[in-house]
Amino acid sequence: MTYPDMQSKSAQLYERAKQVLPWGSTRQAAFFKPYPIYAAFGNGSRVTDVDGVERIDYVCNYSALMHGHCHPKIVEALRKQAGELLSIALPTEAEVRLAEMVCERMPGIERIRFCNSGTEGVMFTIKAARAYTNRPMIAKVEGAYHGSDDTASISTYPMPDSWGDPDAPDSVPPAGTTQHCAEDVTVIPMNDAEAARRIISEHRDQLAAVLVDPMVKNLGYEQATPEFIGAIREETAKHGILLIFDEVYSFRLGYNGAQGVLGVNPDLTAMGKIIGGGLPVGAVGGSAAIMDELFDQRNKPRLEHSGTFNANPMTMAAGAAAMELLTRDEFDRVAALGDRARSGLADAIKASGAKATVRGTTSVIALFHTSADQEMHTYRDIMTVLAQDPAMMERSYRFFVHMLNNGVLMTPYGFMLLSTAMNESDIDVMLEAAHSGLRALKESAAA
């Protein structure tokens, strides 16, 4: 079956779904035109849709499925847990086990508390920083996505008519967030160490924390440079401001997360995705000093943090099983598959002569349909390239559809993620599809 096919079960399901779900599904990231593909089941690296079409899943639920679909060890842990407790208003040993594993790996996490999404994890790190420092403001990077919390979503997708000076960007609230909220946020350009120092120093008495994602997906997996992080760490420490790492995504970078790679300990860390083993999860972690002061119930608690499903035993069991499977060797193996994929894609771009460039590291890949000599390191760089070449998104979409029709599910915007369920032949299937897809793009550009 070739996508799109208006007779397909997915197309029919979409018509039905639109009667009750705006756009036919709850998840914005799951939608593409003319209709989204509805999933039926997954197994290892593969996912099968309701029409029975199997594809290699290079989305991995936007990083959460580090072990692909239905890993037998995770399913076994869930089966056992489902027979014992689904949810409960008491702590469980599974919660203690997962907490021990995360604390053992993440240098900046000595204590952790769980919640149910990365959005919540980020939100609680922000609240924790405000409560700990008694200050209102947060600094964040322009164009960095941190989930849907009001504060964290400021200036995630600002437009040129309101984004202000490139060296001192304006705080732009998205629809549904108030200007009042934006006033408590100051915005830093990605990887501009000098601007970071200046902006932090200007707001030093008001800033509770600087929130940084060490690897920003929206910016083509742009990694924070050691100079940028070093400047922020130094400035925050000087002024009693906390440094928050959002490792919801960047935990993928290695056994000890991005903080292990960078050799920098944040004061607080937001976690999510992988640590839930495929089930909903989030967490706020940090140093014992900060976390105990804020959350120790024997003290007068300074920060309210409750939730009916926080640390629910199903997520904790799946998360613990997933973390056990995620050894240093597995990180290395997946990173080697990533190298094979990135160098194969670079070869395919060269062989086809298509206008495209490949980026990423370890288990993440971004394929942008623009030439390699374009500056694409900040949000404004990307917006400038898009303004100069509006057909870029169209090329990206056509490539995505070609991949769908050749056994590969990736994101419409060119992102691919790897899982431990993949092997070299999964990479080679993707590369073969990419070769023909890039050739087709080049041919249609020449026509």
Ligand X SMILES: Cc1ncc(COP(=O)(O)O)c(C=O)c1O
Give the relative orientation of helices 392-404 and 379-388 as an angle to the nearest 10 degrees: 90
Choose, by CB under 6 A, the member of 23, 31, 32, 62 that binds ligand X. Answer: 62
User: Does residue 221 touch ligand X according to CB under 6 A?
Assistant: no
CB atoms within 10 A of CB 157: 14
Q: Minimum CB separation from ligand X for residue 122, in Å?
A: 5
Choose, by CB under 6 A, the member of 92, 119, 236, 396 that binds ligand X. Answer: 119
Q: Minimum CB separation from ligand X for residue 381, in Å?
A: 19
Q: Minimum CB separation from ligand X for residue 284, in Å?
A: 12
CB 245 within 8 A of CB 73: no
User: Does residue 272 touch ligand X according to CB under 6 A?
Assistant: yes
CB atoms within 10 A of CB 100: 13
Choose, by CB under 6 A, the member of 8, 92, 117, 362 that binds ligand X. Answer: 117
User: Does residue 147 touch ligand X according to CB under 6 A?
Assistant: yes
User: Does residue 246 touch ligand X according to CB under 6 A?
Assistant: yes
Of 45-53, 96-104, 112-120, 424-432: span binding ligand X (CB under 6 A): 112-120
CB 246 within 8 A of CB 146: yes
* Site size toward ligand X, by CB under 6 A: 15
CB 127 within 8 A of CB 199: no
* Residue with nearest beta carbon to ligand X: 118
Angle at 443 between CA 59 and CA 394, to 5 degrees: 45
Q: Minimum CB separation from ligand X for residue 118, in Å?
A: 2
CB 271 within 8 A of CB 120: no
CB 157 within 8 A of CB 184: no
DSSP string, 167-191: TEE---PPTTS-HHHHTTEEEE-TT
The first and second tokens of residue 434, run together, are 């990419």
Nearer Cβ to ligand X (11/59): 59
Report helix, strand or coil for 225: coil
Of 35-43, 144-152, 252-260, 421-429: span binding ligand X (CB under 6 A): 144-152
Choose, by CB under 6 A, the member of 108, 118, 169, 266 that binds ligand X. Answer: 118
Report helix, strand or coil for 201: helix
Choose, by CB under 6 A, the member of 3, 58, 124, 249 that binds ligand X. Answer: 249
Residues at the site binding ligand X, with contacts judged by CB under 6 A: 62, 117-119, 122, 145-147, 213, 217, 246, 248-249, 272, 282
